Amino acid sequence: MNMKSEKNKFRIIIVIVLLNSIGMSIILPLLPFLIGKYLPSQQVVVGMSLLMSVFAACMFFAAPVLGAMSDRYGRRSILMISLLGSTIGYVLFGIGGALWVLFLGRIIDGLTAGNISTLFAYISDCTEPHERTKWFGYIGAAMGIGKLGGPALGGILGSINLSLPFYITAGLIFLSALAAYFLLPESLLVEKRSSRISLDSFNTFSSIKEIFGFKEVGFLLLIGIIYYAGLDVFQFNFSVFLKDLYKWGPVIIGSVLTIVGICEIISRALLLPWLLKHFKEKSIGLLGLIGFVTGLGLILISIFVHSAVLISLAIVFIILGDGLFDPTYNGQLSQSTDESKQGKLQGVNQSLQSANNVIIPLFTGAIYFYSPGVLYALTILIVFLAILGYTYVLPRMKPLRSLDR
């Protein structure tokens, strides 16, 4: 396949990610108002938490299964299932009428949530190992672009009709499904697919056990679990932190968090490609971890020294650090297996992150209630463990090692 065709495939993938990101960011500011139609105001936070937890739990069980199916039947068909499942989920949100309809929408979306892991596997099929980190970074940058304008657009659409943004989101994701069907060719050749799919492939815990059975891969995934736990603390808690300790309102918090989208684009689309030309991937990943923990340290200091400058610097360090570590981590992970196991590996990775999304908010809320300082001090300690592990595992990681015994 010529270079022009390869570039066209990647452009289509970026467009699919961008449409999904815009759609999801459109509806995020409106969820409290939608849930408020069915629950008293004091129970809205609980309702949102339950919806998020149900979605994450469904993804935990479904992602490895969808990944294994993509290894057997190809990436394109599983990507279509995932995108159509999301479309149905958001249509149900638009229809509403009862709280159980919203939960049904989240369950359907969660059980078919394999779009990102499938796209990562697709990129791994089409690229040389040393090129993957760059393209994983571009996917993250596309998500950042979607996050910039989506919330404001959602607010405008929601002021017209609360259900309208959910239908718009469903339409955008359906458009991406059409793009995948008509424009995106299959990446996994028949001769490179897994030879069979067993009953164990439908058992999430069996898939996780199989992947963790390979020491180097399991150790890298463990580092990922620790790191993403720290990132989840920041994502789930930071707005509440700013509201409680700095007494900032929605407008100021929204303005400050705009820095997140800008830094995400800069780190993944500009800084990362430049660094990849001059440094090894493992060094860039370590730099990302150090930047991330520095940002957490600045948040901890800002508890005792109130400063908007410290807060802004913390966001810059955290998002730049994540923009360097996240694609590098996924790039290294993709190099640990060949095409026939890529889907299962990426599915297990997404499943483990979903487990974090269920567990971390519960612990974060409890510790934060006790002391914000203790929460961020513990988070720093956790990320330091990831740094130590990442440094330890560096000389032991071997490129493109097959998971087949």
Q: Where are the domains of the chain?
A: 3-182+202-396
Residue ranges of alpha helices (H) inside 246-307 are: 250-265, 272-278, 281-304
- Both tokens of residue 359? 């567990």
What is the C-alpha to C-alpha distance for residues 341 and 4, in angstroms, rounded to an integer? Answer: 27
Burial 299-315 (b: 16+ CB within 10 A, else e): bbebbeeeeeebbebbb
Q: If you count them, how many residues does the chain have?
A: 405
Which sign does the torsion angle of CA 83, 85, 86, 91 carry? positive
Amino acid letter, residue 351:
S
Is residue 174 within 8 A of residue 83, CB to CB? The reply is yes
Residue ranges of alpha helices (H) inside 96-214 are: 99-111, 115-126, 132-160, 164-183, 204-212
- Both tokens of residue 187? 């990446």
Give the contacts of 180 (CB within 8 A, at least 6 positions apart). Answer: 12, 16, 76, 79, 80, 83
Which sign does the torsion angle of CA 136, 152, 22, 114 carry? positive
Q: What are phi and psi of 280, to 5 degrees?
A: -75, 150
Give the contacts of 48 (CB within 8 A, at least 6 positions apart). Answer: 31, 32, 35
Pick from 386, 151, 360, 148: nearest CA to 236:
360
Pick from 108, 114, 66: nearest CA to 87:
108
| CATH fourth-level superfamily of 3-182+202-396 | MFS general substrate transporter like domains (1.20.1250.20)
What is the C-alpha to C-alpha distance for residues 324 and 284, in angstroms, rounded to an integer? Answer: 6
* pLDDT of amino acid 402: 47
The residue whose two tokens read 């571009």 is: 138
- Diameter of the chain by CA atoms? 60
Q: What is the pTM of this model?
A: 0.83
What is the C-alpha to C-alpha distance for residues 326 and 330, in angstroms, rounded to an integer? Answer: 6
pLDDT tens for each residue of the chain, 405 residues long: 455 566 678 888 888 888 888 877 777 777 778 888 888 877 776 787 788 888 888 988 988 888 888 888 888 889 999 999 999 999 998 898 889 999 999 899 889 887 788 888 888 888 888 888 888 898 888 888 877 777 777 778 888 888 888 898 899 889 989 988 888 888 887 777 877 777 777 888 888 888 887 777 888 899 999 999 999 888 887 877 888 888 877 667 767 767 788 888 899 999 999 999 999 888 999 999 999 999 999 999 999 998 889 998 999 999 999 999 999 999 988 887 777 778 888 888 888 988 888 888 778 878 888 888 999 999 999 999 999 988 876 555 555 444 544
Question: Residue 234, class by beta-carbon neighbours within 10 Å (0-12 exposed, 13-18 middle, 19+ buried)?
Answer: buried
- Both tokens of residue 366? 């409890």
Amino acid letter, residue 331:
G
